[in-house]
Chain A
Amino acid sequence: MALFEFILDGVKVPAEDGDTILEAAARAGLSDRIPTLCHEPGLPPYTSCYVCVVEQEGRDKLLPACSSPAAPGMVLFSHSPKVVASRKTALELLLSDHPADCVAPCSRGCPAGIDVQTYLAQARGGLWEEAVRTIRERNPLPGICGRVCVRKCEDVCRRELLDEQPVGINMVKRAVADHWMETPYAEAPGPDTGKRVAIVGGGPAGLTAAYYLRRMGHGVTVFEMREKLGGMLRYGIPDYRLPQDILDFEIGRITDLGVEIHTGSRAGAAGGPALADLRSRFDAVFLSVGAQAGSPAQVEGEDHPSVLSGVEFLGGVVRGERFPVEGRKVAVVGGGNTAIDAARTALRLGAEHVTILYRRTRAEMPANPEEIEAAEHEGVRIEYLIAPVRIAAEGDRLQGIVCRKMVLGEPDASGRRRPVPVEGSEHLAACDLVLAAIGQKVDLSGLTDGLAVTRWGTLQADEWSSVTSMDGVFAGGDGITGPAVVIDAIAHGRRAALSMDQYLRVGAPRRAVEIFSSRKENFGEVRVQDLPPGLPGRRQRQDELPAEERVASFDEVEATLAEHQVVAETARCLSCGCAAAETCTLRSLAEEYGLDDSIRGQTVRHRLDDSHHRITLDPDKCILCTRCIRTCGEVLGIAVLGLVNRGFETTLSPSLGRPLAGTACIACGNCVDACPTGALSFKDPAASRRSRGGAPSVCTLCGELCAVELATCSFGLSARPPETDGPRQLLCELGRHGLPELAAGERLTRPLVRREGRLVSATWDEALAAALHGLSGVAREHGPASLLLAGGGALSWEEAALLARLGREGFGARTGSLSVLAEEGDGYALDGILDATRSTASWDDVEAASVLLVVGEDPMAAARLRRAVRRGARIVALTSAPTRVARLAEVWVETRRGSSSRVLGWLAKELVRRRGAPEELVQAFPDLAFDCLLQDCGVEPAAAQRALEVLAGAGGPVVGLASLDPRAERSPGTLPALTGVVQVLGGTGAGSGLLLFGRHANRLGLLAAGLLPGDGASGGELEAAIHKAAIRGAWLVREDPDENRDLAVALADLRFLVVQDCFLTATAARADVVLPASTHLEAGGTFVRHDGRILRALPGAPGRVERSVARVLAEAAALLGLPAAPAAGPDAALDRLPCPGKVGWILQELRIGVPRTVHGEVDPAPRHVTTRRTSWLP
């Protein structure tokens, strides 16, 4: 390999012959400079996206870095203008054929940008706290908004296309918030920054700003002119819509964070602070003064004492003022929500007649249609096309309003048709009280000193940064927009808080920016057929009080949805937003290269494939990088996915355009990991949230012990393969979905003790005492050898060591592992040959081997074997069926089931003959004439001959692979025969050996911890003891021998049984004491893989069990009087154990080392398997 250098952006990059530019740059840590969408590390370059292009000095054409070979001395630029332009165009083109949403329309429609889709899904899954946290990331007043919001989110909800009714988003928000009221969670302010902010006005904008500022650690003082906080929420919205207790609760959650409050203090007025004063005393000032003053009706005589503004009236009612309403006629002028509120409040105060006069028609009425309807139900009359002309009064007594009829004319500036008076239509509408609710205005008196004001009388401020004309003074809410809705004020409050935060930290305000989002609407009208298939279901309705009951009190009219209604309503959500929105490479590149979302062109529309139980395929989001296709086909060898059609219509799909369900898919999900966009996503929202990082752990659900990362998102725990720069790490369906289920399933949490034949709850101490008492009794009666302490393959090395110590030193009992015993049922085949039945080669050896001899099948093993084949290994496979490995093999020896040992024996003997190896290696194998291969074993002689040739011609290391899983294809004698073949060929050099993978995860770890009998055939002795019924009492940790019939029968009649497990297994159900067990997901631990590699799991899941397995075992040991570390808990006990991180220690204990040469001399040096994945070492 020739080494050379080239220059990338002025940096010298070392490279070797055969490197592509991208590979060399990645190795030099410069992968950030060259983005790519289609390159899949570890696979040959594909070169389709053309995003990775770089410019070479002196060359006109750009080079795709993923496939262009690096050459000595080349001078490259990763961000030259030409490169940037080309990348930008490539991204534009990709996005012009990407009729998909990054963010759901509801989120985009919400002024505060609440992640609606997420909280709906959380509410659906019963994750109430997570749901309210999601809402409160953007809106700290969910219960208030859940009652009074104008629901811009629902206006744009796509569900409406499907069945004419949007998802009841706001109803769900209210339900979530009410749940929160019942079970509030603790929230703390951020670490103190020492900065202080004054907030003028305690309405929704001010309260929201206060909340986020406190969360960011800034000090907050609120100046509120009224007696209580809440602004128009409290003084403008009547109780039957928004009860005071809701307000008090949600405001309380904000003030609980530590907010200084001055009520009755109007800034800029007598008794209140002046603006200049605030500016000097605080680091920043936020003006959220609202639009509090009712606008005058501008009709003659409106200064009459019986003419009130709507807000004056509503606020007065809240403050307990009395109005002469009972039994009177009330006229309300206006058509907004305040008019309706005033009318309905008047009814509740006992008015005889309430009439709303509105100058346009119902279609133009700005109030919520539901509110209008409710008002009518309650008996409010609404007269349309009526406008007041003047107030008619006789002294103090009001006669009524002189009105005029109107007709609609041409549209005005607001787009609504302008009402035009009808000449001569004047008439008197008799009434006793007039409530003028025609609008509100901003009252800035005393605050405008030095501040710019707009011509509409509002504060001049930037809507996105809240910056005013005065340094350090910010403003938001109705005070800058004029009367608007609650959610706008909340949105302003949060934006202002973020802006002020940046101002306080770095001296410059922050302008809220929207990041790039693709949207379906840009590609034409969204039609029903463009929507994912939604679950059927009509919109839920909130229960309402009957109209006659409503008007009798100020009780809340609408009821919160019940839980089953929440489930039904949230199920209607079509989940329009992309699961990969946060992780999509296409989106982040679009953002980085400054694309906007207006990119469009003709597209080919596809149906979303929702058929699979785990994975969703949305071809509209696919950029045809084929990373999934290549991962599935070339890495895993399954080839479920492919491209169909050609040219612009090319589509990612299973063959012939069939649905994903029903293909050969093994649901491993590695395609989703490979997808740079959201074209492939997991249905499980926890799994689909792909963000970097997580706690390193291992999957213990089979013997592969795959490395995983545990990450917790707001949907719970997910397990996924660790991110690497090199070839993709794999995980199967079991690991990806089984581990979270193990962590979150219906776990045992309380100890159980059998009393009068039934298992009943007990305390930990009671249960532990009962366990020790019971087992000690058995030991006294039958001798300590009648006791067995056994642990399953899922135990960590630490747990196994504690269990072994408890058994051997505490009780003098036998120890072992029943699950491993069951696995080794065919006689400890290699104990006599290798000291233990275990691997002597690693996966690294497999990948470097020249020939691989494989017996049986395993899908993930097949993926690794494929990698070996790509590097030039030749495979001989012995299976009875055309399995994946068989298809991968150069020679497939089709054997009759159960005859592999004879075929291997024949191969070994032939190889001895050919290579002149000592006969004694193969003496044990029966003779089998070549002619009998077909007859006895069903093997085609030609295949046997070819296998022999490949093996005999091996020019490098040979590794034999077989599974220890009892269900795997294997016959008695297979393992010795396989070992024989490998030994005969093993002389070819280091790297040869056996790789045995089993079903039980930490088999070697248990061995190293001293739990297994170890050393020779004592495992067989334990088995014999069990079958002779010599075992009378047992403590089983995460073992369920009932899964194995033989053992279950033999152990059915124990005198005393203690079971420590995560779930109430069949074995646990008949135990005398049941102790809940922790898992390594919560507790961490050390594991030794079948190839000798040591993996360390760190705790990554929330603890479900009060006492971990390790703690219980250490406590038991202490109770039995074993010396414990002085005044120390279980942690110290762990510390005293030999350090599992010392690789050499374990290897020494295992005495890993196979006779390397067969010609008399044995290589004395123990084999050192070094762990290359250093990050996994403690």
Chain B
Amino acid sequence: MRRLSVGTATCGMAAGAGKVLERLQHLRAAEGLPLEVVETGCIGLCYSEPLVEVLEEGHHVLYGAMTPDLAERLARGQDDPELAARKIVEDGGPDRDGVLTHQRRIALRRCGHIDPGSLSDYLATGGYEALRRVLGGMSPKQVADSVTASGLRGRGGGGFPTGRKWGLAAASQGRHKYVICNADEGDPGAFMDRSLLEGDPFSILEGMAICGYAIGADAGIIYCRAEYPKALVRLRDAIGQAMAAGWLGDGILGSGFSFHVKIKEGAGAFVCGEETALMASIEGQRGMPRFRPPYPAVKGLWGLPTNINNVETLANVPWIIVEGPEAFAGMGTEDSKGTKVFALAGRIRRGGLVEVPMGMTLRQLIFEVGGGVPPGRTFKAVQLGGPSGGCIPARMADLPIDYKNISATGAIMGSGGMVVMDDTTCMVDVARYFLSFTQAESCGKCTFCRVGTKRMLEILERIVAGHGEEADIPRLESLARQVNASSLCGLGQTAPNPVLTTLRYFREEYEAHIREKCCPAHSCSALVRYSILADRCTGCGLCRKACPVSAIAGEAKAPHVIDEAVCIRCGKCVATCNFDAIRKD
């Protein structure tokens, strides 16, 4: 029987996987086609969703950019050039675009391959082998030591050595202890955790249980944002199945170890990804961070020792236990071991989710894996680490990715959000955009974060609007440094990073905005001018019709002109002109 797996993670659904799935199910149910139709998670090739994998007699073929009609042809076993062109990878060989070839998938090892709603799929792919081994003869200390030996560092952004964190929590005394899975992924453009939760929820539960055993906790809480409905459904389902099968609950596998997991839905405040704010939110208080120390390992949720790990971190744990810490430590660099998942977005041809070994260079990741920037454009910079991160310029693209190298640039590894920028991106505007995000997401507690970022944002808004003054740059820089130095939590401390890195690498763009009142990337609408090149204009009138404010005038077949006073700089004329006759500067 032919088995068709449809990628129905949120990215697939957004691209139309729902209709594909519906068509296939209809074919099976109504026409009785001999099909097995299953759902699977995200394999990371978001640029060519919806994806359908066909498995027939041990033979796998993955097709991209599917439509219901194409999928029907697949279901009917047809083969034609159109389908062939959409074939991405066959039987684990090299893929068409080279996206998968360069990856090393550990955290994402099951995503897109198994049915995330099926415990048996999980077990069939080696699931719960790690927990079985842990409970079957490892002491809690051995477990923590293994994780320490693997060199795994927190994947949520901080990069704190996971094994050491576990050791601290294990050493703390308390009536209870907690394991919290931080699934409050909030960076704009980042979706690593969501894909993991949607594509392989059991591995998170397994990772939490192993952590619970290592630190002596009997309760786990997954703090997941309510905006991830699909992940929440998958998690609830997985917890139910694991409880029923005895992988969670009291006396797991007949051992003395009990572990229960609950889900706490977050209301979507970005700062609740910060561990102390996250705990305050679980406790029912306003999600605001507090000063550390005391660290959660000593005094965490409800004042009890608590270990908080991010989703991706926990997903790596079972693999490390099964394959051994040396295998994990064998990948990566001196400073950073293993692999890292990145969400590629922005001006890149093949956006999606990729997992690569630490130590790969930015250039390899962007060009070999991601296919580079769109044709005709120049790679300019990459923003790493979300709104708390920084912009690394193209000239530093040969930097091997690891925690140390990235920090040295002024950016941070963060949770793995990676936004690629080309020559059409204004770096001042990028800083403004990211700061507007952190500014809006500040919890409002600390003076520097609440008011300081607001004042920084006002300066940036002034600059992109063409009202910047010479003193704005030193003012911005000084404020940025003080906000960084005098904020309580990571949000405030890192909020100035986009500003500081763009000032460091792209200062001339700021100066151009202020001194020449021009935007070198021609991106800031207040600073661009549109004009029609008379020698190219054929007077076709398309731009005149497209202009929403009737700023373009001209006789038919005669060069048109733009009235700058009326123009709102929307750029629609440029998009409609077939003769490249409109100049933007």
Q: Measuring CB to CB, which residues of chain A are less than 8 angstroms from any residue of chain B?
A: 45-51, 53, 60-62, 64, 67-69, 85-86, 89-90, 93-94, 96-97, 601-602, 623-624, 642-643, 645-650
**Interface-facing stretch out of B148-156, B446-454, B541-549:** B446-454
Determine the residue in chain A with the shortest Cβ distance to B451.
Answer: A93
Determine the residue in chain A with the shortest Cβ distance to B487.
Answer: A50
Chain A residues in 8 Å Cβ range of B446: 47-50
Q: Are A50 and B455 neighbours in the complex by a CB distance under 8 Å?
A: no
Q: Are A93 and B488 neighbours in the complex by a CB distance under 8 Å?
A: no
Q: Are B447 and A48 neighbours in the complex by a CB distance under 8 Å?
A: yes
How many A-B pairs fall under 8 Å by CB? 91
Chain B residues in 8 Å Cβ range of A648: 439, 442, 444, 450-451, 453-454
Q: With A47-B290, A50-B486, A62-B486 given, is the CB distance from A96 to B444 under 8 Å?
A: no
Q: Are A47 and B488 neighbours in the complex by a CB distance under 8 Å?
A: yes
Q: Measuring CB to CB, which residues of chain B are less than 8 angstroms from any residue of chain A?
A: 269, 286, 290-291, 293, 439-448, 450-455, 458, 478-479, 482, 485-488
Chain B residues in 8 Å Cβ range of A53: 486
Q: Are A86 and B486 neighbours in the complex by a CB distance under 8 Å?
A: yes
Determine the residue in chain B with the shortest Cβ distance to A69.
Answer: B293
Chain A residues in 8 Å Cβ range of B290: 46-47
- Report 20 cross-chain contacts, Cβ distance below 8 Å, ordered by A residue: A47-B291, A49-B446, A51-B447, A62-B486, A64-B486, A64-B488, A86-B482, A89-B482, A93-B452, A601-B455, A624-B444, A642-B286, A647-B440, A647-B442, A647-B443, A647-B444, A647-B450, A648-B451, A648-B454, A650-B450
Shortest Cβ gap from B574 to chain A (Å): 33
Q: Are A61 and B269 neighbours in the complex by a CB distance under 8 Å?
A: no
Partner of A45, one of B291, B458, B486: B291
Determine the residue in chain A with the shortest Cβ distance to B288.
Answer: A643
Shortest Cβ gap from B448 to chain A (Å): 6
Known: A47-B488, A89-B448, A649-B444. 18 other contacts (CB 8 A): A45-B291, A47-B290, A47-B445, A48-B447, A49-B447, A50-B486, A68-B291, A86-B485, A601-B451, A601-B454, A602-B454, A602-B458, A624-B444, A624-B445, A643-B286, A647-B439, A648-B450, A650-B445
CA distance A119 to B313 in the complex (A): 67
Shortest Cβ gap from A787 to chain B (Å): 62
Q: With A86-B485, A89-B482, A93-B452 given, is the CB distance from A646 to B291 under 8 Å?
A: no
Q: With A67-B291, A624-B450 given, is the CB distance from A645 to B485 under 8 Å?
A: no
Chain B residues in 8 Å Cβ range of A624: 444-445, 450
CA distance A53 to B447 in the complex (A): 12
Chain B residues in 8 Å Cβ range of A601: 451, 454-455, 458
Shortest Cβ gap from A562 to chain B (Å): 50
Q: Are B479 and A646 neighbours in the complex by a CB distance under 8 Å?
A: no
Per CB-CB distance, the 5 closest pairs between chain A and chain B, nearest first, are A650-B444, A67-B291, A93-B451, A647-B442, A50-B486
Shortest Cβ gap from A990 to chain B (Å): 28
Chain A residues in 8 Å Cβ range of B447: 48-51, 90, 93-94, 623
Which DSSP category, helix, strand, loop or mixed, fits chain B's interface? helix
Shortest Cβ gap from B136 to chain A (Å): 38
Q: With A47-B488, A86-B486 given, is the CB distance from A93 to B455 under 8 Å?
A: yes
Q: Are A61 and B439 neighbours in the complex by a CB distance under 8 Å?
A: no
CA distance A51 to B482 in the complex (A): 12
Which DSSP category, helix, strand, loop or mixed, fits chain A's interface? loop
Chain B residues in 8 Å Cβ range of A48: 445-447, 488
Determine the residue in chain A with the shortest Cβ distance to B444.
Answer: A650
Chain A residues in 8 Å Cβ range of B439: 647-648
Chain A residues in 8 Å Cβ range of B488: 47-48, 64
Partner of B291, one of A64, A86, A645: A64
Partner of A646, one of B443, B448, B451, B458: B443
Chain A residues in 8 Å Cβ range of B441: 646-647
Shortest Cβ gap from B459 to chain A (Å): 10
Chain A residues in 8 Å Cβ range of B485: 60-62, 86
Q: Are A90 and B486 neighbours in the complex by a CB distance under 8 Å?
A: yes
Chain A residues in 8 Å Cβ range of B478: 89
CA distance A97 to B455 in the complex (A): 10
CA distance A97 to B445 in the complex (A): 14
Q: Are B458 and A90 neighbours in the complex by a CB distance under 8 Å?
A: no
CA distance A89 to B455 in the complex (A): 11
Q: Are B486 and A646 neighbours in the complex by a CB distance under 8 Å?
A: no
Q: Are A89 and B458 neighbours in the complex by a CB distance under 8 Å?
A: no
Q: Are B443 and A93 neighbours in the complex by a CB distance under 8 Å?
A: no
Shortest Cβ gap from A624 to chain B (Å): 6
CA distance A48 to B451 in the complex (A): 12
Determine the residue in chain B with the shortest Cβ distance to A623.
Answer: B447
Shortest Cβ gap from A39 to chain B (Å): 11
CA distance A650 to B487 in the complex (A): 16
CA distance A23 to B455 in the complex (A): 32
Determine the residue in chain B with the shortest Cβ distance to A645.
Answer: B444
Chain A residues in 8 Å Cβ range of B479: 89
Determine the residue in chain B with the shortest Cβ distance to A648.
Answer: B454
Chain A residues in 8 Å Cβ range of B482: 85-86, 89
Determine the residue in chain A with the shortest Cβ distance to B291.
Answer: A67
Q: With A47-B488, A602-B458 given, is the CB distance from A97 to B444 under 8 Å?
A: no
Identify which of B440, B442, B451, B479 gathers the most chain A CB atoms within 10 Å of its CB. Answer: B451
CA distance A94 to B488 in the complex (A): 16
Partner of A96, one of B293, B451, B487: B451
CA distance A49 to B444 in the complex (A): 11
Determine the residue in chain B with the shortest Cβ distance to A91.
Answer: B447
Shortest Cβ gap from B10 to chain A (Å): 25
Shortest Cβ gap from B463 to chain A (Å): 16
Determine the residue in chain A with the shortest Cβ distance to B455.
Answer: A601
Chain B residues in 8 Å Cβ range of A46: 290
Shortest Cβ gap from A620 to chain B (Å): 14
Chain A residues in 8 Å Cβ range of B269: 646
Q: Are B442 and A93 neighbours in the complex by a CB distance under 8 Å?
A: no
Shortest Cβ gap from A765 to chain B (Å): 67
CA distance A304 to B488 in the complex (A): 83
Determine the residue in chain A with the shortest Cβ distance to B489.
Answer: A47
Chain B residues in 8 Å Cβ range of A67: 291
Determine the residue in chain A with the shortest Cβ distance to B290.
Answer: A47
CA distance A513 to B579 in the complex (A): 69
CA distance A96 to B442 in the complex (A): 17
Chain B residues in 8 Å Cβ range of A62: 485-486
Identify which of A45, A67, A646 gathers the most chain B CB atoms within 10 Å of its CB. Answer: A646
CA distance A49 to B452 in the complex (A): 12
Shortest Cβ gap from A35 to chain B (Å): 13
Q: With A47-B488, A62-B486, A90-B486 given, is the CB distance from A646 to B455 under 8 Å?
A: no
Chain B residues in 8 Å Cβ range of A645: 444
Shortest Cβ gap from B253 to chain A (Å): 34
CA distance A48 to B458 in the complex (A): 22
CA distance A1164 to B454 in the complex (A): 68
Q: Are B451 and A97 neighbours in the complex by a CB distance under 8 Å?
A: yes
Chain B residues in 8 Å Cβ range of A647: 439-444, 450
Identify which of A48, A69, A601 gathers the most chain B CB atoms within 10 Å of its CB. Answer: A48
Chain B residues in 8 Å Cβ range of A649: 444
Q: Are A90 and B293 neighbours in the complex by a CB distance under 8 Å?
A: no
Determine the residue in chain B with the shortest Cβ distance to A67.
Answer: B291
CA distance A50 to B485 in the complex (A): 10
Shortest Cβ gap from A785 to chain B (Å): 63
Identify which of B444, B478, B479 gathers the most chain A CB atoms within 10 Å of its CB. Answer: B444
Chain B residues in 8 Å Cβ range of A86: 482, 485-486
Chain A residues in 8 Å Cβ range of B455: 93, 96, 601
Q: Are B451 and A94 neighbours in the complex by a CB distance under 8 Å?
A: yes
CA distance A647 to B451 in the complex (A): 9
Chain A residues in 8 Å Cβ range of B486: 50, 53, 62, 64, 86, 90
CA distance A1043 to B238 in the complex (A): 69
